[in-house]
Structure 1
């Protein structure tokens, strides 16, 4: 195996662990025997984290390949390792785990485990960690992109700065307000920006 293949394999393991954690949380919500009070916001953010993880992983190979050919594989790999570690934590915090369900959201008579997704989503701990990690990820991506585009065109740097800045701003808003309209605006903006980015890569 080449050095690039080793690097991509390690990043792929981290991606697999994060998506597995997210899938396990979904499984716990839909399995029989649990009473779930559904809410669209945590599900929408989970969909965003899933799509963003896939998109970043897909782009990671070409970025690391170019860096490897230019003799810069080490620094680029370390930055991508940080990105995917933060994404793994975002996957882990996106939906409640079984222990949170049992300790925070009990059922009426104590016989059926229950989970309230709205209560979980708006809890201070979830908002602080999930959106703090997501905002930190986007800030780190923005800094890395500006360094990468240092010798690129001004248009490329501007587009990257606007897109990443929009994502960082949208992900930071939910930390400071519990207004549902603000949360829905933020998740719609992030999903829209990621959809635009994905469509731009496919079509252009």
Structure 2
């Protein structure tokens, strides 16, 4: 199929969202942006890339974060970003990069409030991938050679960070079905099954839209 859509993928940690996004993009013949969004935002804004990596899908209410913001602000920033706190500079630069990438054509974007950034794009399709905790624990434990207890702890911490980030910057709720066009349980459907479901949904939406 010839894809005309921008597909955004929100995901619980350990649900396979990154792998699903990559396979989906490959099968549709379009680009996939995950960490690449950070590279693009850093390049176009002139803000240090390490700052994007440090704040990537993380909440902003820490003392250390405030210190970094103040220090960076005193050192100056890219033109157009100088009169706001660093967390907003970083988010706005990323927000603008997401919009610019979307204007360049169909693609898959993973995380980072991309669905919120592209809310005004008629060809944006938002997906959320989730799975039972037990299945996510097994996936993370196997992938990173962790005990199940450590895998569970990592999942809970990462999901909390992602939810805090999404809920802070958007007007929607992370993981809530009403925030997305489609939610899929990858633990039931599997990676390939989830990819196929998304492809079918995209094809149906594009057919209805004409």
Shared fold per TM-score greater than 0.5: no
Bigger strand share: 2
Using the size of structure 2 for normalisation, the TM-score is 0.30
Higher relative helix content: 1
Q: State TM-score, norm by structure 1.
A: 0.30
Q: Bigger radius of gyration, 1 or 2?
A: 1
**Structure ranking higher on relative contact order (CA contacts 8 Å, 6+ apart):** 2
